[in-house]
Amino acid sequence: MERKNIDWIAVGALCTAMMVWASSFIALKSAIGPLGPMTVIFGRMFIASLCFLYFIKSFMKLQFTRDDIKYMALMVIFEPCLYFIFEAKALQYTSAGQAGMITSMMPLITAIGAGIFLKEVITKKLLLGSFLAVSGAIWLSFAADGSVSATNPLLGNSLEFSAMICGAVYAITIRHLSSKFSALFLTAIQAFAGCLFFLPFALWEYNTMTMNFTIEALFWVAYLGVFVTLCGYGLFNYALGRVEASKASVYVNLIPVFAVILAYFALGEKLEFIEIVASCVILCGVFISQIPTEKLKRVRLRIKSKS
């Protein structure tokens, strides 16, 4: 039997991409303090759009059908528009670590949505994993006490969960578009559309809120636009050229782990023991949903043979 070597370059790219994406919770939490949430998201989309200006000439050569435009419109409505509204508001009420933990549920929500709308098979292990992950998320929300970094964890985590639903709809939509368009182009469309969508909200905040445009806050906005949007997707897309998409998607489950670790060191956030247990329940549910069915069958057979 031929043994396949591990592509450590792809592994490194994927792990780095997940850490960069996890750091977005730290950046959002840090920037939303002195600035308005919609202002931060607009700044992120604006800077990302500037990064994509270089590729406009190549984008102009692409051809679109009415069906393509319909799916692109659906894509941008759910992400970045609705997704970032929910996420930005969520981080006003919950901690970056808890918000990051809720993201571990997105692959499960996506799989269930794909089963309903794309008629993909929903397995028993997926249902079990989903039940555990949702139970852990509810437990995490109720177990968390209000603090300076998380004034209303239940509301914040609920908003983050809503963002994950939007992300799942986006993921289902992107499956159709990715067969015809590159991830770079689709990311650029999101950046341009998000920039236009969040501009009125940013202007409204500027005229109605007191904001402090500090160097640190502007740095985090630039970090979100360049590193999280451009570099994060760039590394992920590079890795997809070296490994299968099914293998790469598993690494998404590293985001909540990195988010909790980064929140601990960067923001000084801490999880109580009961919150750690609830987080483990979420990760356990995600892990169960990711175990290949054939491997589960082999484990069952081993257990039966020993008994």
Band (pLDDT 50/70/90 cuts) for residue 288 is confident
Spatial distance between the Cα atoms of 22 and 275, rounded to a whole number of angstroms: 19
Lowest mean pLDDT among 73-77, 83-87, 190-194, 234-238: 234-238
| Res 232: pLDDT | 82
Lowest mean pLDDT among 55-59, 246-250, 300-304: 246-250
| Res 240: pLDDT | 65
| Res 1: pLDDT | 40
| Mean of pLDDT values over 167-180 | 79
| Mean of pLDDT values over 184-208 | 92
pLDDT tens digit string along 100-118?
778 777 767 777 777 777 6
Q: What is the mean pLDDT of the chain?
A: 81
Spatial distance between the Cα atoms of 154 and 158, rounded to a whole number of angstroms: 6
| Res 3: pLDDT | 44
Segments in the chain forming alpha helices (H): 8-32, 37-52, 56-59, 66-76, 83-90, 96-102, 106-117, 124-143, 153-177, 183-208, 215-223, 232-240, 245-250, 255-262, 273-290, 293-306
Cβ–Cβ under 8 Å, residues 78 and 106: no
| Res 142: pLDDT | 67
Higher pLDDT, 154 or 224: 224
Higher pLDDT, 174 or 156: 156
Spatial distance between the Cα atoms of 83 and 155, rounded to a whole number of angstroms: 16
Cβ–Cβ under 8 Å, residues 171 and 109: no
| Res 118: pLDDT | 63
Residue 241 has pLDDT above 70, yes or no: no
